[in-house]
Amino acid sequence: MDNRPIKVLIVDDSALIRSLLTEIINNQTDMEVVGVAPDPLVAREKIKALNPDVLTLDVEMPRMDGLVFLEKLMRLRPMPVVMVSSLTEKSSNITLHALELGAVDFVTKPKIDISSGIQEYAREITDKIRVAARARIRQPLPHVHLSVERKNTADAVLPVEHRTFSSTEKVIVIGASTGGTEALKSFLVAMPPDSPGILITQHMPEAFTHTFAQRLNSLCRISVKEAEHGERILPGHAYIAPGNRHLLLARSGANYVAEISDGPPVSRHRPSVDVLFRSAANRAGKNAVGIIMTGMGDDGAAGMLEMRDAGAYTFAQDEKSCVIFGMPREAIARGGVDEVVPLDEMPRRLFGWLGSQGSRAFRV
């Protein structure tokens, strides 16, 4: 994009939300609200007239279902969309479907004291609009450096350990953010029922991770669930970090188990990819495989380098297949990545590497 402000169209049936989002966005020097719409039918005409760069779209809309509108929009006039969602089970299902249809990301409405709550989310909302404006919808977009303020390193949750490993059981750890829900679905659907255990940190708020895991479980040959503290990590299973809690790989004797932590945010995130990757470096070493997927910022870059230094093999999703190349780019720049791979090639390359290490053959 050039230096002109990001043009935003707000679509929400709530006059209060439209007013609050307008105030938040217009307070930024690099974006402006060019129009508002109370429903998709009005929005359709304003998109034609105003040609916005980013659309914010309420999940549940009058006159036309929001998902029907999004599906038509992505087919006829693809553009970056940030969903505005409530923290309910119904809304989380609709929001995840919206991401499947092509929405870049979503922000959640607070449950109570909506006026002050939206103000607290001002930074999150504007950050996601900036990312959406640069997201890969259909055509490649210019290289953009995406930085995230670092308040803590993984030291805040788990110190570095130096140890040897007696187990040879493989484990896969994955980190993702913006665009990650669809990338993870593509990857996990290809996993065979006897694949190594998989731990996943996807930046996502609580109340969404359980629904996300259920949706994946209904599509995959492997079992997918939200991780629980102390449960054993089994082959043929994937474990999603609970929203607002860190997921770590731990050991109980010869077995891998999940550890859930309420430690402080790392790289502005809880759950944090750096924390998961640090735990894999500490507790699995060369028996771990690390994968970093699409997402903004640099969460996971430091942890992936630690994994590689501990003997793990590491993959990064390539720029062309990423919605946002920020996290993989940072991991590559820091020297933590062994292979850069297109998303659709990731399962084949992963199991090709596992086979080269003497692991049994997998069919994907």
As annotated, the active-site residues are 177, 203, 299
What are phi and psi for residue 216, nearest 5 degrees? -65, -40
β-sheet bridge partners, residue 172:
198, 289
Round to whole Å and give the CA distance between 272 and 299: 7
Biggest alpha carbon–alpha carbon distance for the chain: 65
Token representation of residue 133: 């404006």
Which of 271, 35, 34 shows the shortest CA–CA distance to 173? 271
Pairwise CA distance, residues 135 & 53, whole Å: 11
Helix/strand/coil for 66: helix
Of the candidates 300, 303, 298, the one whose C-alpha atom is nearest the C-alpha of residue 146 is 298
> Helix 326-333 and helix 301-309: axis angle, to 10°?
40
Structural contact between residues 178 and 131, judged by C-beta atoms closer than 8 angstroms: yes
Q: Are 107 and 204 in contact (CB under 8 A)?
A: no
